[in-house]
Structure 1
Amino acid sequence: MAKSRALLAALGGLAMGAAGVQAMTIPRSSSHTKILRQVEDVQDEYDYVIVGGGTAGLTVADRLTESGEYTVLVIERGLFGNDSSVNNVSGGSQAYQNSSLSFNFPSVPQVNLGNRVTGVVGGVMLGGSSGVNGMQVHRPQKADIDRWGSYFGPCSEWNWDNLLPYFRKSWRLHPPTPEMVEQFNIKYDTSYWGGEDDGGIHASFPTFHWPFMRAQMDAFADIEGIEFPVDSGAGDPGAFWYPASFEPTQVRRSFAMSEYWAGKGNARDNYETILGHRVVRVLFEDEEAVGVEYVDSNSRDTSQARTVRARKEVIIAAGTIYTPQVLQASGIGPRPVLERAGIDVLVDLPGVGANFQDHPLGAQALFYFTNWNFSPNPSDLQSNATFRALAEAEFAANRTGPLMIASGNAAAFLPFPVVAPERFEAIAAAYEAQDPAAYLHEGADETVVAGYQAQKSRLADALRSMDAANYNLFIRGSQMEGSVVYLHPLSRGTIEINATDPYFGTPVVDYRALSNPADIDIQVEFIRFTRRYFTETRLAQYGPIEFSPGAQVTSDEALRQAVRSQVSPTTFHPVGTAAMMPRELGGVVDENLLVYGVEKLSVIDASIQPELPGAYTQQPVYAVAEKAADLIKERA
């Protein structure tokens, strides 16, 4: 797990302990929903049963219950995690260190990373990963969302224009102060956001930034082709400032639990939540979902399972990692996988668990500035006791200062032609010419291959486009910089049920990192571009010295080896394992998010995203969930 812990540190978090759900204090009451304190309190039947009380699950539950017309039960395997590690904004992702709030288990060894394993990490608590993430609030490019709908043809409603109202609905923007706008040249446009009183998640700017960040952001203007969008939510690539998901008055994390579950006024008699329980499988009569079977989270015995029925629909929101397990355990998935696990096949759906993607971190050139003349700087929080004490006093008194910075608020999301102006066409053409089955998992079904062929043609176009971002460099005003995230990896992994322990064993997660060789070629160009940014812009005056992989590493093969040694296959942004695509393209759900081959079963979490967005996944999950709620109500 060493690589996983190093990544958490890179993202502003702390190392995480062993996984598991520990006992936590559950509030005696809620302003919004009734917490069921014992399983005997669960009713026999509800209109909707939602599997998972995470980011998507709580958003949809809130919207389905607000009219009072429908009854909803949320079943969440974690517990109530509204503690200091969740609410502490400083550093961004400190909640990952609390083992009661997250799962963390090893992937299979990654062949192309020297057989390294990596930690598979996500939130296990009411609010899910929205309660443990780094709080960075980016929005995808317009082209990303338009690609999602393109798999269904030109008339699909899954496009930027139709999803933008849901992006607005799920966020309430608190603009930066005029002083911060002037000092750092921050651009924003409130028309892309909900207002401060419109509900949804708080999106706030800190009232302090490290002085060097202005120089770092201005340096992007020295590179041809880099734009500065009018707002981080405008759907355009470029360099921009963006908010973080915290409530600005108390400076506390704003997430699905705090805003969609606890923050909605009076309790609703039609909305119940049971914590500390996990769904084992969905129950069917013929091919119609009629309920679920669930157990205590600490149980490993299906004979102890209870059932609850759903009159209208079972809604799966277990997350990209665990949604495939629930579907496969229910008899929905690739026939060979189910038969190995001894699961009766209800629907042979090869796309369940295929098409697995995550944003890799690591193909980077790290620099240290020798001519440093900026004070204060981030290292002062650790190295200067006086500065730390002053920062803590300022935060305690006024909720201002450097301790209100989460994982950062400025970054570049850049098109590949900007990153590799001399090489992008050759790389895109070589990728486009690949056999679509050549680098997929062994035995990939013909529908999964067809789906990847459809993705491949679109992603090759994206590699050539100035409207799509592939490269992400996030900055923090530090003396050491250069961390890069790869936004549209071309390799595809798999998640399969554990054949020897299908109901309770952790899923078998294979990122298949760098299995497509084009990913290496692209990330070699990332290293070269990062060097250009630090050494051929105004940042050169600060004496940048490359310490990884080292300025002497210049040949193609040496840079490829650097990529293999640096890359971590995850920034904890998994998507794609129940993809919204046509069934003949390996899809799992249709445009209404209903699972193919059965009735009254939907999936609403990040697993439905057919491709990674050119930004982090927090905003898209909320927007998709808001749209999902409307789709579900329309068919009620």
Structure 2
Amino acid sequence: MNRCLAVTVAALALTSQVCYAYPRGLSTARVLARAQDAEDTYDYVIVGGGTAGLTIADRLTEDGKTTVLVVEYGELSSSPLIQTVQGGFMGMSSPQFMYDITSVPQANLRNRTTPVLAGKVVGGGSAVNAMMTVRGTAEDYDRWGRFFSNHSEWSWDGLLPYFKRALHFAPPDAAVARAANITYDAAFWGNTSGVYAGWPSFQFPTTALHVAAFRGVPGVEFPPDSGAGEPGVYWFPTFMDPHTVARSYARTGHYDPAANRSNYHLLTGAKATRILLEGTTATGVAFVQTPANATSSNFTSTALPTVVRARKEVVLSAGGIHSPQILQLSGIGPRKLLAAANITAIVDLPGVGMNFQDHPMLTAAFMYQNFSVHPSSDDMFFNATFQTWAADVWAVNRTGPFSIATGNAAAWLPFPVVSPQRHASVAAALAAQDHAAQLPAGTDATVAAGYRAQMLAYATALRNNGTAFYNSVLSGGAASGVLVDLHPLSRGTVHIDTADPLGAEPVVDYRALSNPLDVAVITELLRFARSSVMDNPLTAGFAPVELVPGANVTSDADWAEYIADTVSPTEFHPAGTCAMMPRELGGVVDEQLRVYGVSNLRVVDASIIPTLPGANTCQTVYAIAEKAADLIRYGPKNGV
């Protein structure tokens, strides 16, 4: 019998004595060692050298003429922790590459706090994530545009060209694909990006068995390709360069290939403190550079800032946690919050820092007593002979199991499939809710109106088969493991610390399970995880045994207790805090990603996502950035 290992894994009082960068002719593209090495003015200044920021900088500088400075707090690192594909997210294990932020206690999770994981390194989240190369369903992206109109270019059809442009698809090895029955359709992919969607050179045979077992679950579909915009069970690629068998991410795809461009500069170790505004026009960025061996951001409250000007635009790409913070520090945000921090409100924009979303996750684990097909991923833990072989083939030619990241197969299922008996009642309850009552007291009416629009859209999605709500990665082990709620109904906040707005990290509150219907949805996900294994004719021969949460958990009350005890409010996908929605719906940016009430300022990162896609966010952020680059270079098209 194989064993199973369950692994889950005075506010903006900046001194007036600013240090202006020295003008000089641009030299070769390089990492600037000191703030004073930067030019005094660039065409574009981009705050954040992560997934989105590096993509935009690459595209804007392709002409060899447009000058760009990327201001990034993290370092430029080639650490093996980032490069390795084994395990998928080794870089996340190092505090060197992560911000040190912890959420406030979560009232509905036994007052637990949780780490707020965000990449602090050139490449951002793409340098430390699980490397899962997936996108949401077509409905996920159509939903975004419909907050504006039925003719918005923010739609599946409008984004698909940018999904294709964003990645270079490398097909799986033909023999591996045949053995595992991996299907794909290159029509959904491109081949011109420097960021690769590749595949490992090995798949555990047991993974294919997990995939096939879903044919015993009524209603489950099997799309021909992970990029087809359809829910179901399918194989998907990895952010991996097939030539080097190393992580492929924003740095390797959008900075390293541009190293000879004299119009592309990257300044590391520099923390943006505000957007410079003349009236309501963005003119540049103020930042301070990290002292040697600094361990926190408190130096920003006393350090002398440097200013760099932007001739054309400032692009804020600091991510779902820090983009709202920088806007608020700049006087753009909720007036009451800014007043509490003694910051003058230049643009009263109530949605900044609201609408915070992440994917909740938790565990359901089952052991198969008669799982006799070898090898399985459990052998990576328990079979010394297999481990030795895997290490040997990796050392010789970088093939074998060590080329697998988090995994390449998963179920992404709609709610009626997961909950055929209760989906209609849950949807009706959501539609009938007092939506404003689910938000923090005193929430602005526009933000409440936007939340209501989101919940009504979700009520429709809960009733149909076009949106995935359930996710479980199929790792090839003798059990299922982490489950993900792809469309949480609760909304949190990310706000400056009014006691120390410039020196402290933002105050992050997931407000987990603040909408009680999240418990109802997650309960159905857990019940489905159990039934898809324990009541499935295609797994019966494996003699499954439930390990977690345990067969004694049966009633709604039991499930609610288990969820409160164990759910994580984050899959490390912070989003939504500078939402792309109409201003009357609490939006922060318009369809061109321009900040309402401010000229020459855009936000381009996961913070603009109005409602999370039912997928890991990285591929979506690449597509957003590619589309944003076109909006910046060429202006709106077809009314966008």
The answer on whether the counterparts of 2:273 and 2:300 sit within 8 Å (CA) in structure 1 is no
CA offset at residue 302 of structure 1?
4.5
**Equivalent residue number for residue 235 of structure 2:** 241
Residue pairs, 1:193-212, within 5 angstroms: 193-195=189-191, 198-212=192-206
SS at match of 1:106: coil
SS at match of 1:309: strand
The answer on whether the counterparts of 2:206 and 2:375 sit within 8 Å (CA) in structure 1 is no
The answer on whether the counterparts of 2:471 and 2:485 sit within 8 Å (CA) in structure 1 is yes
Select 1:122's aligned residue among 118, 122, 136: 118
Select 1:271's aligned residue among 258, 264, 272: 264
- Find out whether 1:524 has 2:520 as its counterpart: no
Q: Distance in 2 between matches of 1:297 and 1:107?
A: 24
- Find out whether 1:478 has 2:477 as its counterpart: yes
Deviates more, 1:570-579 or 1:369-378: 369-378
The answer on whether the counterparts of 1:357 and 1:575 sit within 8 Å (CA) in structure 2 is yes
Letter aligned with residue 93 of structure 1: F
Residue pairs, 1:543-582, within 5 angstroms: 543-582=543-582
**Equivalent residue number for residue 401 of structure 1:** 400
Letter aligned with residue 218 of structure 2: E
SS at match of 2:588: coil
The answer on whether the counterparts of 1:365 and 1:548 sit within 8 Å (CA) in structure 2 is yes
Residue pairs, 1:490-505, within 5 angstroms: 490-505=489-504
Residue pairs, 1:129-148, within 5 angstroms: 129-148=125-144
SS at match of 2:402: helix
**Equivalent residue number for residue 110 of structure 1:** 106
SS at match of 2:101: strand
* RMSD over equivalenced CA pairs, Å: 1.5
SS at match of 1:49: strand
Select 2:8's aligned residue among 3, 6, 10: 10
CA offset at residue 635 of structure 1?
4.3
CA offset at residue 441 of structure 1?
1.3
- Find out whether 1:627 has 2:623 as its counterpart: no
**Equivalent residue number for residue 598 of structure 2:** 598
Select 1:213's aligned residue among 190, 200, 207: 207
Q: Distance in 2 between matches of 1:111 and 1:185?
A: 45
CA offset at residue 541 of structure 1?
1.3
SS at match of 1:530: helix
**Deviation by residue 1:260-307 (Cα, 9 ceiling, x = unmatched):** 00024x611111111000110001111100111100134333451111
The answer on whether the counterparts of 1:169 and 1:199 sit within 8 Å (CA) in structure 2 is yes
**Equivalent residue number for residue 78 of structure 2:** 82
Q: Distance in 2 between matches of 1:480 and 1:456?
A: 34
Letter aligned with residue 396 of structure 1: A
The answer on whether the counterparts of 1:77 and 1:275 sit within 8 Å (CA) in structure 2 is yes
The answer on whether the counterparts of 1:32 and 1:263 sit within 8 Å (CA) in structure 2 is no
The answer on whether the counterparts of 2:194 and 2:252 sit within 8 Å (CA) in structure 1 is no
* Identity across the alignment (%): 49
The answer on whether the counterparts of 1:472 and 1:487 sit within 8 Å (CA) in structure 2 is yes
Letter aligned with residue 129 of structure 1: G
- Find out whether 1:256 has 2:274 as its counterpart: no
Aligned residue pairs total: 607
Letter aligned with residue 242 of structure 2: P
**Deviation by residue 1:597-624 (Cα, 9 ceiling, x = unmatched):** 1110100000001000011101100000
Residue pairs, 1:368-387, within 5 angstroms: 368-387=367-386
Deviates more, 1:292-301 or 1:154-163: 292-301
Residue pairs, 1:417-496, within 5 angstroms: 417-496=416-495
Letter aligned with residue 227 of structure 2: G
**Equivalent residue number for residue 180 of structure 1:** 176
- Find out whether 1:318 has 2:318 as its counterpart: yes
CA offset at residue 40 of structure 1?
1.6
Letter aligned with residue 411 of structure 2: A
Residue pairs, 1:351-370, within 5 angstroms: 351-362=351-362, 364-370=363-369
Q: Distance in 2 between matches of 1:390 and 1:483?
A: 28
The answer on whether the counterparts of 1:295 and 1:302 sit within 8 Å (CA) in structure 2 is no
CA offset at residue 32 of structure 1?
8.0
**Deviation by residue 1:14-53 (Cα, 9 ceiling, x = unmatched):** xxxxxxxxxxxxxxxxx98322112221111111000010
Q: Distance in 1 between matches of 2:477 and 2:346?
A: 54
- With the length of structure 2 as denominator, give the TM-score of the two structures: 0.93
**Equivalent residue number for residue 28 of structure 1:** none
Structure 1 unaligned spans of 5+: 1-5, 12-30
- With the length of structure 1 as denominator, give the TM-score of the two structures: 0.94
**Deviation by residue 1:334-359 (Cα, 9 ceiling, x = unmatched):** 11111111111011101000000000
The answer on whether the counterparts of 2:472 and 2:480 sit within 8 Å (CA) in structure 1 is no
Q: Distance in 2 between matches of 1:563 and 1:301?
A: 40
SS at match of 2:376: coil
Q: Distance in 1 between matches of 2:481 and 2:67?
A: 49
